[in-house]
Structure 1
Amino acid sequence: LIRRAKDQGLNVTCEAAPHHFTFTEEELLNYDTNYKMNPPLRTKEDVICIKEALKDG
Structure 2
Amino acid sequence: MNAERKGCTATEYGLVFGIFELIVFLISPIYGQHLNKIGPKVTFNGGIYTTGICAILFG
Regarding TM over 0.5, the answer is no
Bigger share in helix: 2
User: Which structure would you say has the larger Rg?
Assistant: 2
TM-score when scaled to structure 2?
A: 0.26
